Amino acid sequence: MNINKLHEDYKASLRKERMWVRFYQLLILVLFFVIWEVASTLRWIDQLIFSSPSKIGHLFVEKVADYSLLYHSSYTLFETVLGFILGTLVGTILAAILWWSPFLSKVLDPYLVVLNSMPKVALGPILIVALGPGMSSIITMGALISVIISTIVIYTAFRTVDSNYLKVLQTFNASRTQMFKEAILPASFPTIISTLKVNVGLSWVGVIVGEFLVSSQGLGYLIIYGFQVFNFNLVLLSLLVIAVFATIMYQLVELLEKRLIKNE
């Protein structure tokens, strides 16, 4: 028996499986676009509503050439990233305050439940009046949509950290700040990361709805504009761009996860 050879075989079989997974993933992507194109050309589906990859492709080239796509997407991207960071950061800070004062957390509990159940996008009109129809109200919307759920989830993670870790720190005469820094926060990193992953999606919802309501720029604006002039090529192009950006953001969060969580 040759252990080395068996190991090589095993590694080769892993490589082979990875290759096939990639192959099928690509196949689905290609088939999707091909079927879409064919269905559109042969008029199985309404070209006016569902457009076709080639038309969207042409529009893409056109919009890249006149810089308008870059202009609109950079607006939206900026708003989303800022809303996302603000939502998670404020959520974590609020969770820390609740952890700090168990009394306050008991007092605020029903309010958190109400705020969480309320559809935040319904606040849009009020935000626009209060903050003006511009970027700040859109960013606020992107943050608002994720902040309460982040607070609740992260606070729950803080509370469920094994109290024996705190006992160890207490015998070292650690202050509450030190306990938070040394045990509570690092033990909750996995939860914070999964909150980040959820928030990527949520902040896109907030920002796009915000742009539907107010703005004169951004991908949300392109969608609503395309809808109003019945240009569904534009709507679908914007959607595809959003999908690409959202995926990239998600991948970045996963990268952060690998750097932050070393003990797995």
Contacts with another protein: how many residues (CB under 8 A)?
20
165 sits near another protein (criterion: CB under 8 A): yes
Burial class (CB in 10 A: 0-12, 13-18, 19+), 51: buried
Q: How is residue 218 written in tokens?
A: 């951004």
Dihedrals φ, ψ of 160, to 5°?
-95, 10
Binding string, 54-93, against another protein, x = CB under 8 A?
----------------------------------------
In the complex, the smallest distance separating the C-beta of residue 193 from another protein, rounded to whole angstroms, is: 13
62 or 162: whose CB is closer to another protein? 162
Our CA dihedral for 28, 73, 148, 121, rounded to 10 degrees, sits at -100
Closest separation in Å from C-beta 188 to another protein: 11
182 binds another protein, rule: CB under 8 A:
yes
84's CB contacts (< 8 A; 6+ apart) are: 142, 143, 146, 196, 199, 200, 203, 249
Question: For another protein, which residue of 117, 173, 228, 259 counts as binding (CB under 8 A)?
Answer: 173
Closest CA to 99 of 166, 180, 193, 202: 180
Question: Binding of another protein at residue 167 (CB under 8 A)?
Answer: yes
Name the residues that contact another protein, by CB under 8 A.
162, 164-165, 167-174, 178, 182-183, 186-187, 189, 261-263
